[in-house]
Structure 1
């Protein structure tokens, strides 16, 4: 993925990693379009950051995804990068069906069906652009599970394998598939996580991501140094130790 000159749509960019990445990409000379459910946040972003475009979109609503995606493409036909960022992360107790089923279904709708629907809405258009990218967002927890968030972990493992698979199908097109794999980052994805001392500061994470995007234009996975502990535990042969360490030190983290 080239670092500048793109038109980038980032649904799920009203806060956290999505917003920080949107601002960093705009600073590099890209046209950035953000999306989210909360109109007041979108209005604030466009007021505080001239040049950013915004659309209200609910990625958990299939009809809304289809309708808003058509508008984005019609009004910004040069769009060549899709970054489906929207996601939720919630604690579940699988020892009690009443304690997890609703949360699990909501997580799958947002974290799995949301990106699928967005990619479906954009993939035909992206193939008409000479240099296009789908930048998916998985997690270090796709490779090592956090005990308290089973469905979140599984949803990110799905995103990883989806990325691997559609990359093969799109190999003969102009569309690259790039996967961003965050470690635990200080955001509001879960209550209190912004203050988690074990998580990576957001500004440091985004700075390292931007450096990697610039240094590795042909990469298929963007991995900051901190995520490699989780990403490669199985390959190193210390997966049980990785899982034990993750769950001992970060019971509520990403």
Structure 2
């Protein structure tokens, strides 16, 4: 993927990985438009990066997605990159009663949101000579964390969806890529100070280097171990046992 001269839309771009990617791509001279529910975070990010633009979006609301997609197509006809990054992560207990609010929020945000957003913009992206869709999944889609089972399940689904989308767009001008982060120091699960998590700046730097290649799956070095364990149920048990041990 060329790293300059793009018009890029990033969902969940006001904080964490989304903001990190937005700022790195903005610094390279791309026109970056970020979105999110929290107007304050969007304003703070755009104020810190003159020229970056934002639009408020409720990724759980189909009407909001449709309206924002139309606004983007009208105001930014050069839009050629979509990064589906918005997501939520909560601890859960799937061995107990179902938390309806948790499963609805997580599945609607993490899975239905990106699918709807892609569907709203894909015909526009096809009209460009080159375009890219990047879906942000997680290594927990390959080796689930049992205490965030619903989140892990949505990321596994995103991996599957991305593969299907890539196949269906194989003869078009749209390239489909997947970014599967490891544990990164962000606000998810209050991990901004977590020593076991990868520093955000380090993650963004390594991701940008991979982004400039043709790799369909973008897996930073710290994520390679879990990526390699797809389908290894014994490793999944070991991984979760490790997480439950006192630190």
Tell me if TM exceeds 0.5: yes
Partner deviation per Cα, 1:54-105 (whole Å, 9 max, x = no partner)? 000010111001001110111000000000111000011123225x332111
Tell me how far apart the structure 2 counterparts of residues 7 and 141 of structure 1 sit (CA, whole Å): 30
Identify the residue that residue 47 of structure 2 maps to in structure 1: 47
Tell me how far apart the structure 2 counterparts of residues 230 and 15 of structure 1 sit (CA, whole Å): 25
The alpha carbon displacement at 1:248 in A equals 3.5
Identify the residue that residue 199 of structure 1 maps to in structure 2: 197
SS at match of 1:194: coil
Q: What are the equivalent positions in structure 2 for 1:56-205 lying under 5 Å apart? A: 56-98=56-98, 100-191=99-190, 193-205=191-203
Partner deviation per Cα, 1:118-148 (whole Å, 9 max, x = no partner)? 0011000000011100000110001001010
177 and 251 in structure 1: CA distance in 2 versus 1, 3 angstrom threshold: farther
95 and 248 in structure 1: CA distance in 2 versus 1, 3 angstrom threshold: closer
SS at match of 1:86: coil
- Aligned Cα RMSD in Å? 1.5
The answer on 1:246 being equivalent to 2:239 is: yes
4 and 101 in structure 1: CA distance in 2 versus 1, 3 angstrom threshold: same
SS at match of 2:178: strand
Identify the residue that residue 24 of structure 1 maps to in structure 2: 24
Tell me how far apart the structure 2 counterparts of residues 146 and 212 of structure 1 sit (CA, whole Å): 25
The answer on 1:225 being equivalent to 2:221 is: yes
How high is the TM-score relative to the length of structure 2?
Answer: 0.95
Tell me how far apart the structure 2 counterparts of residues 131 and 251 of structure 1 sit (CA, whole Å): 45
Tell me how far apart the structure 2 counterparts of residues 240 and 195 of structure 1 sit (CA, whole Å): 30
The alpha carbon displacement at 1:249 in A equals 3.8
Tell me how far apart the structure 2 counterparts of residues 142 and 54 of structure 1 sit (CA, whole Å): 29
How high is the TM-score relative to the length of structure 1?
Answer: 0.92
Could you tell me which runs of 5 or more consecutive residues in structure 2 were left unpaired when the two chains were aligned.
none
Could you tell me which runs of 5 or more consecutive residues in structure 1 were left unpaired when the two chains were aligned.
none
SS at match of 1:68: helix
Select between 42-51 and 170-179 the one with higher mean Cα deviation: 42-51
Tell me how far apart the structure 2 counterparts of residues 241 and 2 of structure 1 sit (CA, whole Å): 40
The alpha carbon displacement at 1:47 in A equals 1.5
Identify the residue that residue 11 of structure 2 maps to in structure 1: 11
SS at match of 1:90: coil
250 and 201 in structure 1: CA distance in 2 versus 1, 3 angstrom threshold: farther
